[in-house]
Structure 1
Amino acid sequence: MTLAGRAKSDAREMQSFYQYYFKKNIQALQNAADKHDRAQLTKAYQTSTVLFEVLEAVNQTEAVQVPDEILQAHTTVEEKKQLYMPYNILPLDPESQNQAIMRYPEIQATVSALRNTSGLPWPTDHRMKVNEDILDWLQSQFGFQKDNVANQREHLIMLLANVQIRQFPKPDQQPKLGDRALTEVMKKLLKNYRKWCKYLDRQSSLREPALQQEVQQRKLLYVGLYLLIWGEAANLRFMPECLCYIYHHMALELCGILAGSPVTGEPVKPVYGGDDEAFLKQVVTPIYETIAKEAKRNNYGKAKHSQWRNYDDLNEYFWSVDCFRLGWPMRADADFFCQPLEQLRVDKNEACSICLGYEDEKPYTGSKWIGKTGFVEIRSFWQIFRSFDRMWSFYILCLQAMVIIASNGSGKLTSIFEGDVFKKVLSIFISAAILKFVQGRKPVNCSFFLHISSLFLNF
């Protein structure tokens, strides 16, 4: 029924529909007196962008030029789309200041403090945008993912605002972030990192600025850097000491960027640069690939537990000062990334590029798989006997006592009170000592048989 009123080509039909959608879903919402339905407007901008891509593809197929009116509308959409970005809890675009959640003084104070980027050295090729903040600066320096920055921005704002709103007595209602709230959040987030530095007897990478007015900005940078590392680490969150190692070096680089080179005075560039997704590709991915290789050696649970490393085993590598041999940037031929030679399947005449050691100046690089660095759990069929060793020992000692009673005197239970029988029954304490000795000295899978053999020897 609508065929007669439609355009005669797909290109013109798409142009007509795009104009219809733009007028009904974008212009109507923009011209409304109350802009409460911000989510609908954000969705309209995203849909309009997809429609224009389809329109361009159809017009290119039919060799039809896009009208200037549609191009102008698309330009308007692209400009506004940067302001109306999708969000989880906090709408942080300039036109959302009247939203109910954005009217809280604690939210306004935290947002204002994050947007204080004065004195931060931006890259020369960086294009400044509206309302850029400290997390945007960290992204430009270390190459974090865009969506990770957006998520952790809301995360940090909500953390600081929640702490500040619970404080008593309440601070002034002026939009200013309190130092007490920031210090409390920083203390909680970096608690494990400080313990790690103390355990390894290493100085923390957190440096105080020379100027007092820069203290709050520096604390926000430290907290923001930790959240960005944590948010993008994914499965590395199961290795908290590994994250401490990464944060230790990146925080030190952060101080170098802010202080500048001691020779030239120019800002220091991070070793992994600030390219897009540099942190994911060059820091997270190599460690995760090592985890994946170790998981494959598990052979679906059939391999022995001592022949492959899980998250805990890999994390134990960072419990010792030896982890600093890994270096920064992390060496690809370090023993942490090394795999067994039989796993690599290399020719005997060829050198393994991953497992080659350094020369005398770096003698600590491993030439083979480092394996387990701490406790090694041995799993076998006899583990059930080892797990209930007290029960088995009790049974064996009871059996010894009953055999002694049955083979001496009258054989009745009351004969235990006879002098000769009672002395022989006391030999169970000698058997108990032998069982304990064997249990502590011999492998787990032989303990049960050794218990039995010690019983016959005692007889």
Structure 2
Amino acid sequence: MATPRRGAPQQRRILRTQTAGNLGESMFDSEVVPSSLVEIAPILRVANEVEQEDRRVAYLCRFYAFEKAHRLDPTSSGRGVRQFKTALLQRLERENDPTLMGRLQKSDARQMQSFYQQYYKRYIQELQNAADKADRAKLTKAYQTASILFEVLKAVNLTHSVEVDHEILETHHKVEAKKQTLGPYNILPLDPDSANQSIMLFPEIQAAVRDLRNTRGLPWPKDHNKKVDEDLLDWLQLMFGFQKDNVSNQREHLILLLANVHIRKNPKPGQQPKLDDLALDEVMKKLFKNYKKWCKYLDRKRSLWLPTIQQEMKQRKLLYMGLYLLIWGEAANLRFMPECLCYIYHHMAFELYGMLAGNVSRTTGENIKPAYGGEKEAFLKKVVTPIYNIIAKEAEKSKSEKSKHSQWRNYDDLNEYFWSVDCFRLGWPMRADADFFYRPQSSHGVRNEENKFAKEQQWIGKVNFVEIRSFWHIFRSFDRMWSFFILSLQVMIILAWNGGSPSDIFDPAVFNKVLSIFITAAILKLGQAILDIVLSWKARRSMSLPVMLRYILKVIAAVAWVVVLPVTYAYTLENPSGLAKTMKGWIGGGQSQPSMYFLAVIIYLSPNILSALLFLFPSLRRNLENSNYKIIMLMMWWSQVLELVMNLVVVGFLTCYYDL
């Protein structure tokens, strides 16, 4: 082991001191602060910004940042806080005397007030006077800087026991009002002061904004103080309790969607266009495509009722689209559950229709309000959070090493709950005791009464698919490929055994042997049907009756073909031996009847032939799949069209034929 050199601890202390000083300088230049002190980052940013104009003001900003950091973390327990505060204090000690000597006013309070007034006149007023040419980003930054400077000014005046001048207070109120107006945005500055910005001068943008701000006829709450330029999304936020930032994002989203589709319609140049109705319908069609399919699949009427008056119809369409986008924007991880979002939108759109129609509650006599009210962030707290909590619980349950796939649900399993009309038992407002929210608890240490109560509730579990880890999934997932390989191998063996030439297949005797591949195909299909039941066995409790019936009938049909095809094939042999002779003797020996086997094969292949024909006419196939007629739905219910019917017909026909 190497012996440490004498004097190394002293050198390390010197190195740490130098590193702390250098790190402190670079830390303030880059404004990198510990995560627990992130609130002081804007103050340090302002200090760096004004340092060239007034070093004393920059010093006072850093001193205020140091005091605020000490209030945020008095014990310096956060990661990197102690090192940061030490470096900041060392810099303040170095800069105190030089900046004090360069101070122009008699006190720090007067210095801050003077600089604040100069900054407002030099930057904010000049930018406001040139509103048509002003850079909105610079103006927004100037308001934010002025707000922080006033915060420091107020702290300095409090230290010196000096009151803030009335003129500065009025200026501060103006700055705060404008700061709220000039909030952050993505693409479109929709505040009143940004009407002259270049992007806001496009006619299609103006048309979308104008129609979106048509709030005529909406039932605003009595105690609501209406603001300038409020629009339909503001009303939806107030009534349903959406988040403010979500409303801002989806407002830009909807305006840009409408403007992009509108401009493709090529409006005539030189005119102030109105929002094209065709553009509105096209956007609405794309947004509600999945929702309409969901309603059609569950045979439910859509919650999209439109008035007959044209102007009210446009407003109603914008409200429906805005509500959908607000739900989608605030759904967070529920976006992985599209049918769940359809369920939420279905009920909220119905509530929207009730409010616009002026429906009155029978109990209170007041206008109908949303089930979850218009409280702040009500949608997030009362709709999204309960559903997400059950997702989090199921995910936590899946982390157990011994947890089986059948004992917990993922996003797909929870979303499949909304694939059937049973989801409407969840109600609106959603019942907390519904089976969707129920999760079985551990039985250890639970009373008998509680166990009995737990048994009464039904955990919906998996709906359609429960994973069973098995290598047989390889055959089940690629059954067509494996079936093709096995049947091709059988044909090649038959040809090799009977001469080895491919042309031998035209020999009637060899061709008759090749036809035995349909018996092998029937046996493979029987194995596939049995495998479907085995690999879906764990989902039997949550499986619906039609699905269970489908699996059972599939096995029965496969067994029927495994019996029918070998028996009819035995009659195609003139001098059968072994098992073929035994099967031919079951019904009685007679003349060879190859036509019966050909007929059975044709009937056996008829569903595949029909599927191939439908494949050539995709529009017809699509209409059949989307049809709501009971007979067509019964036909499409089977995996292969009319297969069950054909199976029963051929079994009954052959039975009657041989009885005769």
Asked whether the two chains share a fold, i.e. TM above 0.5, the reply is: yes
Could you say which structure has the higher helix fraction? 2
Paired residue for 1:119, among 179, 194, 217?
Answer: 217
Matching residue of 1:347: 446
- The structure-2 alpha-carbon separation of the partners of 1:16 and 1:349, relative to structure 1 and needing over 3 Å to count, comes to farther
Match of 1:208, SS? coil
Instruction: Check whether the contact 2:132–2:197 (CA below 8 A) recurs between aligned residues.
Output: no
Shift of 1:163: 1.0
Match of 1:82, SS? helix
Greater Rg by CA: 2
Instruction: Check whether the contact 1:120–1:258 (CA below 8 A) recurs between aligned residues.
Output: yes
Shift of 1:397: 9.0
Shift of 1:266: 4.0
Instruction: Check whether the contact 2:267–2:273 (CA below 8 A) recurs between aligned residues.
Output: no
Match of 2:245, SS? helix
Shift of 1:341: 2.0
Instruction: Check whether the contact 1:52–1:74 (CA below 8 A) recurs between aligned residues.
Output: yes
- Aligned residue identity for 2:420: S
1:70-109 to 2 correspondences below 5 Å: 70-109=168-207
1:185-334 to 2 correspondences below 5 Å: 185-209=283-307, 211-262=309-360, 266-299=366-399, 303-334=403-434
Higher relative contact order (CA 8 A, sep 6+): 1
Distance 1:89 1:192 in 2: 28
Instruction: Check whether the contact 1:110–1:161 (CA below 8 A) recurs between aligned residues.
Output: yes
Distance 2:188 2:300 in 1: 39
1:393-423 per-position Cα deviation (integer Å, ceiling 9, x unaligned): 789899999999xxx9xxx999xx9xxxx99
Distance 1:230 1:381 in 2: 40
Distance 2:267 2:134 in 1: 34
- The structure-2 alpha-carbon separation of the partners of 1:301 and 1:56, relative to structure 1 and needing over 3 Å to count, comes to farther
Matching residue of 2:90: none
Distance 2:530 2:202 in 1: 66
Matching residue of 2:260: 162
Paired residue for 2:276, among 168, 175, 178?
Answer: 178
Matching residue of 1:441: 530
Paired residue for 1:131, among 183, 207, 229?
Answer: 229
Matching residue of 2:459: 369
Paired residue for 1:144, among 219, 225, 242?
Answer: 242
Q: Which moved more, 1:85-94 or 1:373-382?
A: 373-382
Gaps of 5+ in 2: 1-97, 506-510, 538-578, 580-660
Q: Is 1:3 matched with 2:100?
A: yes
Instruction: Check whether the contact 1:333–1:353 (CA below 8 A) recurs between aligned residues.
Output: no
Shift of 1:59: 4.6
Distance 1:105 1:228 in 2: 25
Distance 2:131 2:476 in 1: 76
- Aligned residue identity for 2:241: G
Instruction: Check whether the contact 1:338–1:355 (CA below 8 A) recurs between aligned residues.
Output: no
Instruction: Check whether the contact 1:18–1:52 (CA below 8 A) recurs between aligned residues.
Output: yes
1:58-81 per-position Cα deviation (integer Å, ceiling 9, x unaligned): 555665433323212110102222
Instruction: Check whether the contact 2:307–2:313 (CA below 8 A) recurs between aligned residues.
Output: yes
Shift of 1:440: 2.5
Shift of 1:4: 0.8
Distance 2:488 2:277 in 1: 68
- Aligned residue identity for 1:244: C
1:92-121 per-position Cα deviation (integer Å, ceiling 9, x unaligned): 122222222111111111111111111111
Gaps of 5+ in 1: 358-366, 447-457
- Aligned residue identity for 1:370: I
- The structure-2 alpha-carbon separation of the partners of 1:390 and 1:215, relative to structure 1 and needing over 3 Å to count, comes to closer
- Aligned residue identity for 1:371: G
Q: Which moved more, 1:24-33 or 1:273-282?
A: 24-33
Q: Which moved more, 1:77-86 or 1:393-402?
A: 393-402
Instruction: Check whether the contact 1:89–1:154 (CA below 8 A) recurs between aligned residues.
Output: yes
Instruction: Check whether the contact 1:400–1:428 (CA below 8 A) recurs between aligned residues.
Output: yes
Matching residue of 1:363: none
1:358-397 to 2 correspondences below 5 Å: 367-380=457-470, 383-384=473-474, 387=477
What's the Cα RMSD here? 4.0
Instruction: Check whether the contact 2:303–2:347 (CA below 8 A) recurs between aligned residues.
Output: yes
